[in-house]
A and B are shown apart, each in its own frame.
Chain A
Amino acid sequence: MSLWPELELVLPEVSKPARYIGGEGGMATPEHHPSKVAWLLAYPDTYEIGLPNQGLQILYEILNERDDSVAERAYAPWVDMEAEMRAGGLPLFSVDTHRRAGDFDVLAFNLSAELVYTNLLNCIDLAGAPVRAEHRADDDLLIGAGGHCTYNPEPLADFVDFFVLGDGEEVVSEITEAVWDWKRSGKKSRQSVLRALAAIEGVYVPSLYDVAYDGPALVSITPRYADVPAVVEKRTVADLAAWPYPKQQLVPLTEVVHDRLNVEVFRGCTRGCRFCQAGMITRPVRERPAEQVRTMVADGLARSGYDEVALTSLSTADFSGIEEVVSATMDCGAGEVSVSLPSLRVDAFTVGLAAQIQRARRTGLTFAPEAGSWRMRQVINKLIDERDLYGAVESAFSQGWRRMKLYFLTGLPTETDVDTLAIGELARNCVELGRAHTKNPSVTVSLGGFVPKPFTPFQWFGQNTVSELQRKVFLLRDDIKRNRGVQMKWHDPKASLVEGIASRGDRRIGRVIEEVWRQGGTFQEWSEHFDYDRWTQAMAKHGLSVDWYVHRHRTEDEVLPWDHISAGLHKDFLWQDWRDALNEVGLEDCRWTPCYDCGACTGYSIEHIVASAVPPAGGSQGTGQVPTGYQPPEEVSVQLSGIGARSST
C-alpha cells in the first residue's frame, strides 16, 4: 500500500527531500477501511508553504476524529520531484502513510491564492484523475476545494467537482456522509453524489449549472434542476468556542513558514477596509473566549516545544483584552516565549506592548498603513492617522528595534501621483524618528499592486494596467532613491495582472488556466517559474481580452461571475460602499456601533461574539469614545511577524 520503498530511492535525487517524508508531531496514522470515507487534503503549493495552513489542519483533525472518515495530507511536489515522479510512474501521494492519491475517495484542495490554480490541475493529473470534471468516470476521485478563493469558483469550475464556501468545521461532516452513501453503493453513480452534495448548504457543484453569455458579457448562471440552489450561501460557524482546533498542531521536522504555534483568537473582521476580501467574507466577528485562548497556548507550547506563539486573526489588537492575553502568553511555558501578532493596529502598539513583546525575542515589525495619504485612506476606509503610525514607530525604535517594514498598496481607486508620493514622505518621516534612537534606522517600503476581489466594494473597479502599476512603482522608487535608510521592494505588476485574471474571471478562464498548465506553467506564484507571456498568449489564443477581464470598470447592473454565490453581504450594501469610497466617505466598525445591515449577520441569524462593548484603548483612540455618527477614527494597522516567517515569494 505504501509507496515509501519506491519514494526512498527517489528522494536522494531531489532538493529538500524532507518535504515528502511526513512524520510531523501530531501526525495521524489513520486506519483506512472500506467503511470509512478517505480524504486526501491537499495544499497546491510546496510543503513549507502549505504545512502551516490552519484550515487544512483543522479539517484533518476533525475528519480523523470521526469514526466514519480518515484524512491524510498532500502538497504540490516541487518541479524536480514531479519530474522524478513522472519518470518513475509515481502518483501524487500522502505524506502521512505515503498512500497513492487514487486510494482515497476525495481529493480536496485548500485555495488561498489564485496563482496556484495551475498547481491544482497538476495535482489532479498526478493523482491519476482526468483534469476536467466532465471526463471523470463514476468511481474516479471526487475533487473538492475550499478556502477564500472559492468565493469566485468559476475559473476552476471545469476542474473541481464541488466547492465549499465559508467555515469548514461543520460542513465537512455533512459532505462525508454524502460521500459515504456514494461509496457504500459501489460508487456507481457520480451524478447522484454530486446532486447530494449540491443539496448541502455551503456546497457548490458547478457542473449542475448552465452558463449563458451574450458576446463577452455573462448573462446568467442558473441551476439545471429544481432542487439545486440558485444561490449558494456560505457556511459560518456561530461560536468559535465550540471548535478549539487544531488541538494538536502539526510540528514539522523541517523548516516551514510560520514555524511556530498558531492560535486563532477570533474569526471575522468588521473594520471594513474596502480592498480586503478576507474582512468582507468572514463576517461576523467571533471571538474565542480568553480562557480558551490561554489553555490552547499553554497546551500547545507544552506539546510542541515551540518558543514562539502567534495569536492569529485579522487585526488582532481588536481582541477584547488583548494585552492581558499577550501578557499571560508570555508567562506560560517553561522558558522564554515570544509572541507575534501577525496583524495588529498601531494605535495599540504602545511602548508597553513593544517592551513586552521584545522581552523574549525581537520579532520583525511590519506596519500596514496601506496608503500614503489621508485622502487615499478614506477611500479604502483604512482610517489611520499619521500620528498613530509615528507613535507606533517611535515606540518600536525606543524599545530597540532598528528596522521595520511598511506595507502599501498602489493602483487603488482614485489614486493620483500625490497619493503615491505620500508613501515616500511617510517612510522618510519614520526613518527620521528612528535617528533619535539608533544610528542606522532602516525602513523598508513594500509595495503591492492592488487586485480587486469579489465580495468587496472594489469588485467593480478596473484594475490598473501593468504599465501604470510599473510607472507608479518607479515613480516612488525614484522619489526615495536618495533617502538613506529607506529601501523599497515591490510585487511584480505582471503577477498582479495574472492574479486579476483569475480573481474576477468567469468560467471561460478555465481554458486559459488549463493551457498554461499544459505548457508546464506550474508554481506561478514563485518568481523563478512565473511566466507572464504564457498567460497573455493563452488569453489571446482563446479569444479572451485581458482588458475586458481585468482593466474594465464594471457597472451596477452587470451580472458578476459570483452572483450565484453568497457571502451574506447584500450587493446593494457593497455598491453603496463603493459609491461612498469614491466620495471619500468612511464607515465605522459595526461591532461597537449600530448595525448597518451588510447582511452577514442578519441573513444567517447570527451575531458578533465580542467580549468588550467598546474598542480597545490606545493611541488616539485612547479617549475610549465610541464615535457617534461618522468622524475620522484615528487608527492604523500594524503587523508583527517573525523574521523569516514570511514567504519569500
Chain B
Amino acid sequence: MNPNQAPRTRIRLRYGKSGRIRFTSHRDVARIWERSLRRTGLPVAQTEGFSPRAKLHFGLALATGYESDAEYLDVDFKCGEMAVEEVLKSLVDVLPDGIEATGGAVLAPGAMSLQQAVTICDWDIELLDVAAGDLAQWVDQVLGAATLMVTRERKGQKITDDLAPQVRALEVGEPTSRGVRLLATLGTQPRAARPSELLAAQEPVHRPVLIRRTRQWIEQDGARLEPLMVGAAPVQHTLVGVQ
C-alpha cells in the first residue's frame, strides 16, 4: 500500500520533565519516547527505508538540566482512529520516573508543526544568589533597556543579536524555600530565546539553580492557545503523584 494513502492519526501529547531526569538531553528524551511507545504496543507509524524509526515529531528543544510542565510531541499512529485516553493510559507504566504524559489531543489534518506554531514560552527561574529587592531592580533594568545584545556561538561563528523584543514579560515571583523566583515570558520565533541568555543579558549576571518551562503558547489572532487546544477535543490527564 502506498504509505501516503494509509490511514493515519496524529496525536499531540503534553508531558512534564522533572527531577533527576532533567539532566538528560533532548536527544535522550527522544530515545526514551521511542522505547516507551514500543513498550505500549500501540500501532505507531514507522518511517520507510533501511532504518525504520517511529514517526515522532518533537517541539522546541528543552535545554539539558531544565525542568518542564509543558513539553509536547506529535505521534503518528497507523490507524484511522486512536483514542487519546488509551494512549495516555498505556503510557503511565512505561515512562520513566520524572517524565509524565499529562494531556493529549488528536490533531486536525494539516495542523502546523509545534516548532512553527509555538510563539512564546513561560519560564520559572529559581535563583539563590540574589535578594528579592535586588532582583526587582534588575527586572526594571531589563524591561527598561532599549536593547539587550547577546552574543552566542553557532557553528564556530559569533552571532550577536538583540534579545529585547523577545522579552515579552518579566517579574519577580513568590519566593521558593531556598531562593527567589523570576518569572519570564520569552519569544520563540524566529529562534527560541533561552532563559540563560536572558540572565546573561544584564549585569549582574545571575546563576540559576533551577529553570522550569511552565507553559508553551500559540498566539493566534490576539489570543493565546495552549498547543493542545489547536486539536479537536483535548484530553487532560490527571495522574496520581505528579508534581
Contacts and interface: CB of A to CB of B under 8 A. Distances in A.
A115 B35 CA distance: 34
B19 to A, nearest CB: 8
Contact of B21 (A253, A302, A358): A253
Interface in B29-74: 31-32, 34-39, 41, 46, 50-52, 64-65
A22 B24 CA distance: 11
Interface stretch (B91-99, B182-190, B217-225): B91-99
B24 A254 contact: yes
Interface in B180-213: 209
Nearest to A25: B96
B96 A11 contact: no
B162 interface: no
B89 interface: no
A21 B20 contact: yes
Given A18-B23, A305-B39, A23 B65 contact: no
B35 A251 contact: yes
A6 to B, nearest CB: 12
B39 A302 contact: yes
A207 to B, nearest CB: 39
Contacts of B23: 11, 17-18, 20-21
Given A18-B25, A361-B51, A303 B97 contact: no
Nearest to A15: B64
Contacts of B226: none
Contacts of B36: 305
Interface string A4-46: 1000110110000110111101000000000000000000000
B65 A12 contact: yes
A334 B41 contact: yes
A336 B54 CA distance: 11
Contacts of B38: 305-307, 333-335
Contacts of B24: 18, 21, 253-254
Contacts of A18: 23-25, 28, 64
A255 interface: yes
B27 interface: yes
Interface residues of B, number: 27
A9 B126 CA distance: 12
Interface string A266-306: 00000000000000000000000000000000000011111
Nearest to A304: B35
B56 to A, nearest CB: 13
A362 interface: yes
A12 B63 CA distance: 10
Contact of B20 (A23, A25, A335, A361): A23
Give the most central of B20, B50, B94, B209: most A CB within 10 Å: B20
A21 B50 CA distance: 34
A253 B28 contact: yes
A335 B46 contact: yes
A361 B50 contact: yes
Contacts of B209: 8-9
A281 B96 CA distance: 39
B96 A253 contact: yes
Interface in A300-353: 302-307, 333-336
Interface in B66-122: 94, 96-98
Given A17-B23, A23-B21, A305-B38, A255 B50 contact: no
Contacts of B20: 4, 8, 21-23
Contacts of A304: 35, 39
Interface string B6-18: 0000000000000
Nearest to B39: A305
Interface in B114-164: none
Contacts of A21: 20-21, 23-24
Contacts of B51: 361-362
Interface in A341-398: 358, 360-362
A253 B99 CA distance: 11
Nearest to A334: B41
Contacts of A253: 21, 24, 28, 32, 96
B97 to A, nearest CB: 6
Given A21-B21, A307-B38, A335-B38, A362 B98 contact: no
A73 to B, nearest CB: 15
Contact of B65 (A4, A11, A25): A11
B207 to A, nearest CB: 9
A11 B27 CA distance: 18
Contacts of B37: 305
Give the most central of A21, A22, A305, A333: most B CB within 10 Å: A305
A358 B50 CA distance: 8
A254 B50 CA distance: 24
B215 to A, nearest CB: 23
A18 B26 CA distance: 11
Given A8-B20, A11-B65, A12-B65, A254 B35 contact: no
Nearest to A12: B65
Give the most central of B21, B24, B46, B65: most A CB within 10 Å: B24
Contact of B52 (A11, A302, A306, A336): A336
A306 B54 CA distance: 12
A471 B38 CA distance: 51
B64 A305 contact: no
A338 to B, nearest CB: 9
A305 B94 contact: yes
Nearest to B19: A23
A288 B50 CA distance: 32
A336 B34 CA distance: 13
Interface in A428-487: none
Contacts of B46: 335-336
Contact of B28 (A255, A306, A336): A255
B228 to A, nearest CB: 25
Contacts of A23: 20-21, 96-98
B96 A255 contact: no
A255 B21 contact: no
A255 B65 contact: no
A254 B65 contact: no
A8 B31 CA distance: 23
Nearest to A253: B24
A12 B22 CA distance: 10
B3 to A, nearest CB: 15
24 contacts: A8-B209, A17-B65, A18-B23, A18-B28, A18-B64, A21-B23, A23-B20, A23-B97, A25-B96, A251-B35, A253-B21, A253-B24, A255-B28, A305-B35, A305-B37, A305-B38, A306-B35, A306-B38, A333-B38, A334-B41, A335-B46, A361-B50, A361-B52, A362-B50
Given A8-B209, A18-B64, A255-B31, 17 more contacts: A8-B20, A17-B23, A18-B23, A18-B25, A18-B28, A21-B23, A23-B97, A25-B96, A255-B28, A302-B39, A303-B39, A305-B34, A305-B37, A334-B38, A334-B41, A336-B46, A361-B52
Interface of B: 20-21, 23-25, 27-28, 31-32, 34-39, 41, 46, 50-52, 64-65, 94, 96-98, 209
Query: 5 smallest A-B Cβ distances: which pairs?
Result: A305-B35, A17-B23, A305-B39, A21-B20, A305-B38
